[in-house]
Structure 1
Amino acid sequence: MDALTILISDPAAWAALLTLVVMEIVLGIDNLIFISILSNKLPEAQRARTQRLGILLALVLRLGLLGTVAWIAQLTQPAVTLLGHAFSWRDLILLGGGLFLVWKATREIHHHVTHADDARGATSAVVPLTVGAAIGQILLLDIVFSVDSIITAVGMTSHMPIMFVAVIAAVMVMLFAARPLSRFIDRNPTIVVLALSFLLVIGMTLIAEGFGSHVPKTYIYAAMAFSAFVEAMNMLARRARSKRTDAVTQ
């Protein structure tokens, strides 16, 4: 208790907590986009429950991994050597997750493009999922993103309470943001391809990280933010044209 009191009164600890919360939220964007896109393929009545379950699974995984920090640290040690390159378990997890994400995003983009003229709309054109299949895929990516998130947290601070609070705060933000993001993607079909492209880039980044090539995430998120800004401008332009057309026809 005394150690916790000292930690609370330490300004450096609060600065570390704020930095780590922001970092965890940024890292959670990838997971949140995937959950939103995947849950939108389910019937409307099942989407919110699936999103909450997927995010709560992420929380359980991350808190569980925080309880095994010593084991997590070992994941960065070389485990196997293939073609003269040493891979740690973290590298293998990132490679597997990256390959799955690239395959999933490519498959979804293909279905979205080939069914672009479907009268039912873009989101319903994708091959539907069952809740079990959706939760399974969300859980698989939760594991990948959780390992990356916890290793990042361990690298930024050695105080376990700070890590726990930061992870819980970031997951709570994801929980509140999931439904609005899902609705926004569902109401704006052009956003689907953009979001899937983000997942494709993230998957390639995970593969590069798995091979030991560090890709600064600042560049990735800056490119994503710029693409989102351009798409927002396009949406505003389309909305303005639609209003002008409606005004002329009336």
Structure 2
Amino acid sequence: MSSIFTLDAIVSLITLTFLEIVLGIDNIIFISIASSKLPKEERGKARNIGLFLAMGFRILLLFGISFLISLQEPFLHFHSTFIQAAPSGQAVILFLGGLFLIYKATNEIYEKIEHVESPLDPIEKPNATKKMMNVVIQIAVINLVFSIDSILTAIGLSDQIFIMIIAVILSALIMMLFSGPVGDFVNNHPSLQVLGLSFLIMIGFMLIAEASHNSELSILGNHIGAIPKGYLYFAIAFSVGVEFLNIKIRKRS
């Protein structure tokens, strides 16, 4: 316990907490958009359930570090004239998660553009319950993908599991505190919803590229490279900044 209060441990804790928050931004976007289909009084509950699941997945994975690391080992080696690959368990999870994100975000964009709900149709209790379960299941699935990516990154920065657990809990509490205002702001601005869904498509494509890179996928001798996450987060921050300017301009006019 005394090693936790050293300067190095405190710096590691702050760094890991900040990292978990940054890596959890895409999770908050997905949770906010997924919970927007629920009645307003149920959205906060769905967001908290989603973030609590994210925290639980991350802590469980920390206790199963050996299993998590074993997922990085290839379980198959495929060689042919055109394609070469050595997929691992981690790559399969990232690939399926990326496909799910792209499908979900594309479907949501289609519904927002093409589908118009009638405000006169009341939401029945069974339908509301089914919607809540559907949202929670979707959040749980995507949390599994984001948790693996987040914990593997955290392991590279610290080898003290207790500090990593504290960082995960602190980041989850901070995100729970701010997820409500962020979710309400996103839901009150349809353009930000579409922008957030576009981010999810980008993140899904990045997960597929990362899975291909981890699998050492080579097509006609050309290796698939990973997309640097810094580029992705810069594009997201820049797009959000431009959209905030557009919101201010629309308010003035």
TM-score by length of 1: 0.87
Matched, 1:8 2:5: yes
The separation in 2 between residues aligned to 1:157 and 1:119, in whole angstroms, is 52
Specify the code of the residue in structure 1 equivalent to 2:35.
S
Specify the code of the residue in structure 2 equivalent to 1:5.
S
Matched, 1:240 2:226: no
Task: Indicate the structure with greater helix content.
Answer: 1
| Identity percentage of aligned residues | 39
The separation in 2 between residues aligned to 1:194 and 1:16, in whole angstroms, is 33
* Structure 1 residues without counterparts, runs of 5 or longer: 121-127, 242-250
| Superposed CA offset, 1:78-101 (max 9, x none) | 122344201111111100100000
Specify the code of the residue in structure 1 equivalent to 2:249.
A
Matched, 1:222 2:222: no
Residue 125 of structure 1 aligns with which residue? none
Residue 167 of structure 1 aligns with which residue? 168
Residue 75 of structure 1 aligns with which residue? 71
Shift of 1:6: 2.7
The separation in 1 between residues aligned to 2:34 and 2:77, in whole angstroms, is 35
Matched, 1:23 2:19: yes
The separation in 2 between residues aligned to 1:112 and 1:17, in whole angstroms, is 40
Runs (4 or more) in structure 1 with deviation over 4 Å come to: 117-120
Residue 37 of structure 2 aligns with which residue? 41
| Superposed CA offset, 1:47-90 (max 9, x none) | 11111111111111111111111111111111223442011111
Residue 248 of structure 1 aligns with which residue? none
The separation in 2 between residues aligned to 1:106 and 1:80, in whole angstroms, is 31
Shift of 1:109: 0.9
Root-mean-square deviation over aligned CA pairs: 1.7
Shift of 1:119: 7.5
> Secondary structure at the residue paired with 1:235?
helix
| Superposed CA offset, 1:193-224 (max 9, x none) | 00000111000000000001322111111100
Matched, 1:59 2:85: no
> Secondary structure at the residue paired with 1:51?
helix
Residue 218 of structure 2 aligns with which residue? none
Specify the code of the residue in structure 2 equivalent to 1:237.
I
Q: Point out the more displaced range, 67-76 or 194-203.
A: 67-76
